[in-house]
Structure 1
């Protein structure tokens, strides 16, 4: 039975390798293939070796005994039966702290240093929280917390800033990679820059008025530029010092639907964008030109998120086809499609796919 499973997995891997991702994913879902099938040309090599042996033994019996096959002359599909797959143990995530906005929380963003997190709400407010304080509060017994003075409670409270300057739902947040600046985008068509080093600051020091609802933001690794994606298909790039706006000189470079996600590569050479039109676009970060397009990246479904790996060689995407895909930038190939999220029915809401802290796993939420 395992031999049959290995053979099927070889078929799926070959389909992925040959670029037939849609067919491979559909077949994998049909038979509930486990584990996931990475792209591989192993089946092609097996068939090639078989044809070579058949030609060399022309005129002899077609059924060859295993002992008559020279070592290394072929690949046994049962070779992996005794191999134990070693993979890192999945991490367990537990709730350590809960805070609340007056309305539903729509977005969250971590600072690059891992010490702060910001949340944005439908009630138009933004909160910045200290992660160490959250962990400390969750580890402190309730009896000790009850004995704290009002001054101590204020000093130890995880919420260090609450910002109010939007008039509608906050849809996206991004921390500046260098300075103590938080940027937000909202349904009120504005992008706002908050300098949060001073506790008394509640309002933005700079606001950019856009032509449509702001859906996504992405900082250049240096912090000198920021990408802004809106309900309008045109992707915008702003200089964070002069606030001058730049767009591609070629209108054909742009998406055909609202933007859903943008992300700079850590090496700052490229950035990617995703859209409701179903495409993922790769852009040159210097010329601001589109250099590649993954058309119908999720079989024509809306692409919900895109994010680079730390080495800038891969992109992880999620779509409303309930799949998470890992793309290799050098070959523009989908290396693997992670299935299973759509087993309970058609996806209705947007999802975000991200790498975990070690990049051993991808998470969908």
Structure 2
């Protein structure tokens, strides 16, 4: 999608639409706080997860049809309800969700000490077809780009790597490589060669996927504050991190240098909850939900210029945010029990 040649100055007119111009296209509610969300790789499905232990899967086209019925082709059949599945197979809070990169499978992580895999092609199946049990509450889960492995983190600092087919678990055998405190965020690079982890110990670590060993540690990545989010650029060369100091940084992986810092979020230094920094689908913008004002902070990804603030319309902190990789759409999940689906319609 994005070339990320930082020397090349883009013409402003060729940038994607600013996230502050998106509108809420749909709102779905859980019975308790909503703290997990994900887009499928094709961008057609969204999943939300709640403290009430339920998972909802929503159809993007149906959400858009509901919000703008006048734009729907009258020759088409009535679309139906946007929520196409509700899954109940966990007994505690859903902490993380991730769609399989190629198949219709959803992975969920929960405080009930399990990871579950759901086949979302089966309309009647409320239960997972596979469950991986851990001894600790599971906090994060992410698929390898090929879909054959899953990385997961728990309240214990050691990262787990699972073979999806056999459920076999691998951990790095070198004690010094592990984080000292629990890991809040974990992601594979799009090329699948490595993964990154951000921890309460203030470090960001990069791990080799094949050997499962740490090859680089960014110590005190956020001046000692806990690291709560990591995400790669599409070319796997840069890493975006967010810390509990409310700052967002872009790192060059090859040199371990912080290239850009995105500052000015209202909660600086007073953040209570973990928040994600994410790119929009073209990587033109960096987005971050500001806790103090429940608004969206956005920066130009290349020069860190602040863009327009936008109210996210929630009555509580936004506990999870994720942007579609294919379209101008993102999802916000909040302690007000709601998940909001945001979309930018063509204005011309």
Q: Which bracket does the TM-score occupy, shorter chain normalised?
A: 0.7 to 0.9
Q: Shift of the alpha carbon at 1:319?
A: 0.5
Q: Shift of the alpha carbon at 1:344?
A: 6.4
- Aligned-residue Cα RMSD (Å) equals 2.2
Q: Shift of the alpha carbon at 1:86?
A: 4.3
What is the rounded CA distance, in whole Å, between the counterparts of 2:205 and 2:10 in structure 1?
39
Match in the other structure for 1:90? 18
Match in the other structure for 2:53? 124
Match in the other structure for 2:206? 282
Identify the match of residue 245 of structure 2 among 321, 326, 331: 321
Contact 1:266 1:311 in 2 (8 A): yes
If the length of structure 2 is used for normalisation, what is the TM-score? Answer: 0.76
Query: SS in structure 2 opposite 1:133?
Result: helix
Match in the other structure for 2:228? 304
What is the rounded CA distance, in whole Å, between the counterparts of 1:85 and 1:343 in structure 2?
31
Give the alignment of 1:54-203 within 5 angstroms. 86=12, 88=15, 90-91=18-19, 92-140=21-69, 156-203=80-127
Match in the other structure for 1:247? 171
Contact 1:109 1:175 in 2 (8 A): yes
Give the alignment of 1:3-82 within 5 angstroms. none
Match in the other structure for 2:160? 236
Q: Is 1:334 matched with 2:258?
A: yes
What is the rounded CA distance, in whole Å, between the counterparts of 1:247 and 1:329 in structure 2?
23
Q: Shift of the alpha carbon at 1:211?
A: 1.6
What is the rounded CA distance, in whole Å, between the counterparts of 1:254 and 1:344 in structure 2?
29
If the length of structure 1 is used for normalisation, what is the TM-score? Answer: 0.72
Identify the match of residue 130 of structure 2 among 203, 206, 220: 206
Contact 2:40 2:99 in 1 (8 A): yes
Match in the other structure for 2:139? 215
Identify the match of residue 269 of structure 1 among 180, 193, 196: 193
Q: Shift of the alpha carbon at 1:178?
A: 1.2
Contact 1:323 1:342 in 2 (8 A): no
What is the rounded CA distance, in whole Å, between the counterparts of 2:244 and 2:268 in structure 1?
13
Match in the other structure for 2:328? none
Query: SS in structure 2 opposite 1:113?
Result: coil
Query: SS in structure 1 opposite 2:161?
Result: strand
Match in the other structure for 1:347? 271
Q: Shift of the alpha carbon at 1:101?
A: 1.0
Q: Shift of the alpha carbon at 1:90?
A: 2.3
Moved over 6 A (4+): none
Structure showing the higher helix proportion among its residues: 1
Q: Shift of the alpha carbon at 1:342?
A: 4.0
Contact 1:168 1:186 in 2 (8 A): yes
Structure showing the higher strand proportion among its residues: 2
Contact 1:170 1:185 in 2 (8 A): yes
**What CA deviation, in whole Å up to 9, does each residue of 1:266-319 have, x standing for no partner?**
111111011111100001111111000000100111101000000000010100
Contact 1:106 1:170 in 2 (8 A): yes
Contact 2:246 2:269 in 1 (8 A): no
Contact 1:321 1:342 in 2 (8 A): no
What is the rounded CA distance, in whole Å, between the counterparts of 2:89 and 2:161 in structure 1?
22
Which fold has the larger relative contact order, with Cα–Cα distance below 8 Å and residues 6 or more apart in sequence?
A: 2
